[in-house]
Amino acid sequence: MFFTLLKKLLRSAVVLLIVLFATFALMFGNGEGIARGILGLGANEQDIQNKMQQLGLDRPLLVQFWDWLTGVVTGDLGKSYFTGETVSSALQNRLPVTLSLVIPTVIIAVVISVFLGVAAAYYGGWLDRTVQTATGIGAAIPGFIVGVALVFAFAVAIPLFPATGYVPFTTSPAGWVASITLPVITLLIGSIAGLAAQVRGAVIDTQSRDFVRTLRARGVSEAAIVFRHVLRTASGPAITAVGLIVIGLLGGVVFAEQIFALPGIGQLLNLSAQSGDVEMVMGCVLVMTLILLIVNFAVDTANVLLNPKARIS
C-alpha cells in the first residue's frame, strides 16, 4: 500500500511539472507582447526592448522557466508587473479568502449530501423524487445566476448580508460569517446537487447487494447497517465525487469572488490573466494545481483506506 501511494505521489509531481511548464510556455512565450501590454499603445520599439531586458523576457524560455522554478523552491515567485507586489505576498493574502469559501462549502456539502442521499435511497417514494428533482434543478442552474439572485434577494432588496467585500476572521468572526454566507450558499447549490445524486446512486447500488440482506437477516439494526456497512462501501464513488466537487469549486470561486468582490485567488487569476500579469498568473496556477493534486491524492488515499479493493494498483 505504501508503494502504491508513493507511486501516486511521484505521478502527481510529474503532472505538476508538465502543467507548470505548459502554462509557462503559453504565458511567457511572447515577451514583446507582455512588454507592450505593460507600456501601452504609445510605446515605441526602444521602450519595449528596454522593458523586456529589464524584466528578463529576452532570455530563452527554458532559462526563464528554470529561473522561475528555482525561485518557487526558495519562495520567490516574482512580482506583479503592474502593482509591484510580490506574488507570494499576494497569494498569502488571498488564499485564506478562497479557502474560506471552499472548505466550508465542502464540509457542509458532504454533510447535507450524505443526509439527503441516504434518506432518498432508503425511504424512496416522494422523498426520493423530491431529492432527484431538486438536485436536477440545482445542477442545471448556472452558479452565476444563483449568486446574482442571492445578492439581489438578501443583500439589496432585504439587506441581511453585505453585498460585497470580505471581512477576515481575525477582524470580526461575525463579520466573517456574514461576508461568506451568500457566496458559500451559491457554491453549495451546485455541489450538493452533484454529490447528493452520487451518494444516492451509490447507496441504492450497495443496498441491493447480498451482504446487506445477510446482515439484515442476522438482526443487525438498520442504523448500524446504514452507517457502518453501507456507507463504507458506498463511500468509494462518493469520495471520488467529493474530489471532483472540490475541483469544480476551484472554478466556481472565480465567479463567486467576482460577484461578491471577494479578494481571493480566483479573482486574482481572472484579473491577472486579463491584464497580462503573467507572473501573477503563474503563481495562481501553481497554487491551484497544487490544491488539485493534493485533493486528488487525498481522495486516492481515502479510497485506499476505506476500500481494500483499491489497495491493489
Partner 1 sequence: MRRTRRALAAIAVPATALALVLAGCSGQTSTAGGSSAGGSAGGSATDTLTLGMTADINGWDPSAQPPYQAWGIEAVYDQLVQCDTSGGIIPEAAESWEISPDNTSFTAHLRPGQKFSDGTPVDAAAVQASFEPLIKSASDRYGGVTFASPDANTITITWPEPQPLLNNRVCSPQIASAKYLASGDLNTAPVGSGPYVFNAANSTSGSIYSFDKNPSYWGADQYPYQHLELRVLADETASLNALKTGQIDGTLITPALYDQAKSAGMSTLQTSVGIIQFQLTDRAGEKIPALGNLKVRQAMNMVLDEQAISDQLFQGHAKPVHQIFGETSQAYIKDLGDPYPYDVDKAKQLMQESGFGDGFTLTVPTMEGQPWLPILPYVTQQLGLLNIKVEQKALTGPDAINQLISGDYPAPLWGLGGSSDSIQDISIQVLDTGFWNVSHQPDATIDALWQKIVTGNQDEKVAAQQEINKYVTENAWFVPIVAPFGFYAYSNAVSVPQMSDPNGGHPLLRDFQKN
Which of 168, 236, 237, 248 touches partner 1 by CB under 8 A? 168
1 DSSP assignment? -
The residue type of 161 is F
Does 225 help bind partner 1 (rule: CB under 8 A)?
no
Q: Which region among 9-17, 68-76, 192-200, 222-230 touches partner 1 (by CB under 8 A)? A: 222-230
Tell how far CA 270 is from the center of its chain: 15
Q: Which region among 69-77, 187-195, 207-215, 264-272 touches partner 1 (by CB under 8 A)? A: 264-272
Number of other residues whose CB lies within 10 A of the CB of residue 219: 6
Does 110 help bind partner 1 (rule: CB under 8 A)?
yes
Q: How many residues make contact with partner 1 (CB under 8 A)?
A: 79
d(CA 313, CA 1): 9
Q: Which region among 28-36, 132-140, 185-193, 196-204 touches partner 1 (by CB under 8 A)? A: 28-36
Which of 211, 228, 251, 311 touches partner 1 by CB under 8 A? 228
Which of 9, 19, 99, 247 touches partner 1 by CB under 8 A? 99
Does 271 help bind partner 1 (rule: CB under 8 A)?
yes
Does 94 help bind partner 1 (rule: CB under 8 A)?
yes
End-to-end CA distance of the chain: 9
Spell out, one character per residue from 178 to 197, where the chain touches partner 1: x when CB under 8 A holds, - when not.
Answer: xx------------------
Number of other residues whose CB lies within 10 A of the CB of residue 83: 10
Does 36 help bind partner 1 (rule: CB under 8 A)?
yes
The residue type of 112 is I
Does 9 help bind partner 1 (rule: CB under 8 A)?
no
Shorter beta-carbon distance to partner 1: residue 92 or 133: 92
Spell out, one character per residue from 229 to 258, where the chain touches partner 1: x when CB under 8 A holds, - when not.
Answer: --xx--x---x------------------x
d(CA 254, CA 266): 4
Does 25 help bind partner 1 (rule: CB under 8 A)?
no
* Alpha-helix runs per DSSP H in 81-153: 87-123, 125-140, 143-151
Helices 45-55 and 31-39: crossing angle, nearest 10°? Answer: 110
d(CA 134, CA 188): 13
Shorter beta-carbon distance to partner 1: residue 71 or 263: 263
Cell numbers standing for residue 242: 467529493
Q: Which region among 5-13, 15-23, 26-34, 185-193 touches partner 1 (by CB under 8 A)? A: 26-34
Does 162 help bind partner 1 (rule: CB under 8 A)?
yes
Which of 148, 212, 220, 310 touches partner 1 by CB under 8 A? 148
Residue found by looking up cell 437477516 in the block:
217
Shorter beta-carbon distance to partner 1: residue 85 or 214: 85
Q: How far is CA 25 from CA 17, 61, 104, 211, 288, in A?
A: 12, 7, 35, 54, 18
Give SS3 for 66: helix
Shorter beta-carbon distance to partner 1: residue 20 or 109: 109
Nearest to 109 by CA among 242, 271, 6: 242
